[in-house]
Amino acid sequence: MEKQVIKKNDTVIVVAGKEKGKSGKVVRVIRKKDAVVIERLNFVKRHLKAGASHGKGGIMDKEAPIHLSNIQLLCKKCNLPTRIGKKALEDGRRIRICRKCGEAIDE
Checking phi first, is residue 5 left (phi over 0); if not, alpha (psi -120 to 50) or beta? alpha
Predicted TM-score (pTM) of the model is: 0.86
CA–CA distance, 63 with 102 (Å, rounded to integer)? 32
pLDDT of res. 1: 46
Residue ranges, the chain, pLDDT below 70: 1-2
Bridge-based pairing state of the strands 35-38 and 23-30: antiparallel
CA–CA distance, 106 with 96 (Å, rounded to integer)? 6
The CA-based angle 57-55-42, given to 5 degrees, is 50
Go through the domains of the chain in sequence order and give each one's CATH number: 1-74 (2.30.30.30), 76-107 (no CATH)
